[in-house]
Structure 1
């Protein structure tokens, strides 16, 4: 679209901006395109003295934002306009192809492989002339040692600065992913091979095969988890060991048949043995008689016979172990008599002595 200044300058020429001139420009476009592809008149702009360009909307499919341009002119003091040129021009909303780039400038560093060959650039600001032989032996030896065997061109100061900045800002510099989590920097790593020359104080080469930067130039403030002095903290066992809450000394291991694994005896045999070890209460009349030594000898002999007989004798005695009802009755009477004697001083009236087993069980504290 023409600017306001261009529109004002074009309006000064009444012949080139008249309705007749606009109709002439519209009819001229019909010679190069379909009449329906020419839209409304958008305006006029001045191109110079007695030169005006009229703009028309473009209705062609796929040309949104484009417009037709018809340039008119006239001779001095003439009243008739003539057509100079016609063209299709892009506007502000037109979709255009990118600007043309020379082939030599289209290549990027990542586009070149090891098998590709680049053309020689005579004027490369990254390089400067190297050492050349002068024919003097002493000077040639000094130049060879200083400039590395007389290369035709060597890095210039700008080339060194560009390379250093590119390496430092890349994936092997201090801002790479994971560097902040590293234990230490490459400056203190034993796998760092220092460089020679002006880059020695900033870069080195990684020589650790376990590192992600192996064989690459890294900055001294770079870092990774494969540092030579890096170690993992002691995190303890993967499965924590907790002390047992059971007292194993008080537990009795049993087999599937109920037999103790320690002594080879069943639970019933253990209970019977424990009951036999407890002394039975002696009767009052037996304690005063002179048969006590004989009974002690009989009990010792019986214990020895029980120990020798083993499990078979214990089974036989188990069947004879239950005492008769008369012995139970006599023992119960003795126990009640002792209880009555001890409780006589605390009771006002003495209780009747039971004469039957039912009366005895009724007077016991746990009876009823």
Structure 2
């Protein structure tokens, strides 16, 4: 059985080729060839017509009746020699028609792989020509230059990110759920660049990104853009709303504090007169004159 690729467009043929009586009349011969290739006689259905492929070359088509092959057809190509009165079977193919159900086009694994597809224990094939990487730093003998590249920039690896790798990562992070267009960032009042829980990244990516270190944030431990934001910002606060419940009455220690009812009227007091006390007994409280000797 031949491959299931779609048939190519037939090249232009003469009317004599299209009306070849020998090949047109070889329907039974073509059906027998299809039955010989098919699994059971029920797999070959009605005759669907003919197609002139060239001079003394013609194909007969029969419906494929197998389950799962809707729209497919058997194609039996016949030929004859010049001035021949009999046809010869050239090939038998099972080909898809316009309404055939086809398998998805095969795509290489490198193009099918998506974030999250790699599970614990999975290992990706090594790509020596990965455009996202480039060779790391090799010691040159210059201690000062090597110190910066190896210790500060962490380039002492066999391969490091290339400019393309950094650009792709920055674009992916910035357009993702931890960039400025995320719903949480749009609703937040402050940006991550002013948050005390932000840990900046080193290198060129540090100009746009940092790592969130707030356990209450939904982005804890994730790379966020500096203009991202959330409700767990270190400098924000919620508006204090007064409780709907009445304020509780204060507790008073009546053993040390005397309670006074201010709602009842208080008696008027003469602040000019002195209130008599126990020491004023036996004295004349009706006059302020000094005591005399009884003479006028």
- Number of equivalences: 243
Structure 1 distance, partners of 2:31, 2:238, is 83
User: What are structure 1's unaligned runs of at least 5 residues?
Assistant: 242-247, 251-368
The reply to whether residue 27 of structure 1 matches residue 32 of structure 2 is: yes
Indicate which of 189, 193, 216 corresponds to 2:222: 216
Q: Compare the two structures and name the one with the higher helix fraction.
A: 1
165 and 133 in structure 1: CA distance in 2 versus 1, 3 angstrom threshold: same
Distance 2:244 2:170 in 1: 46
User: Quick one: which of 234, 238, 245 aligns to 2:244?
Assistant: 238
Q: Deviations over 1:304-351 (max 9, x none)?
A: xxxxxxxxxxxxxxxxxxxxxxxxxxxxxxxxxxxxxxxxxxxxxxxx
**CA separation of 1:131/1:6 partners in 2, compared to 1, >3 Å: closer, same or farther?**
same
Aligned to 1:65: 71
Higher relative contact order (CA 8 A, sep 6+): 2
Instruction: Please name the residue that 1:190 is paired with.
Output: 196
CA contact (8 A) 1:50 1:74 kept: yes
Contact 2:51 2:59 in 1 (8 A): yes
- The answer as to whether partners of 1:184 and 1:230 remain within 8 angstroms in 2 is yes
Name the SS of the counterpart of 2:29 in structure 1: helix
Shift of 1:46: 4.4
RMSD: 3.2
- Larger Rg, first or second structure (1 or 2): 1
**Matched-pair contact (CA < 8 Å) for 2:132–2:164:** yes
Shift of 1:226: 0.3
Instruction: Evaluate the alpha carbon distance shift between residue 162 and residue 12 of structure 1 in structure 2; reply closer, same or farther with a 3 A threshold.
Output: farther
Q: 1:6 aligns with which of 6, 10, 13?
A: 10
Change in 2 beyond 3 A, CA 1:172/1:20: same
Structure 2 residue aligned with 1:86: 92
What is the TM-score normalised by the length of structure 1?
A: 0.57
The one of 154, 159, 167 aligned to 1:161: 167
Q: Which runs of 5+ in 2 are unaligned?
A: 1-5, 248-261, 265-296
1:205 aligns with 2:211: yes
Where do residues 208-287 of structure 1 align in structure 2 (5 Å cutoff)?
Answer: 208-239=214-245
Distance 1:184 1:48, change over 3 A: farther
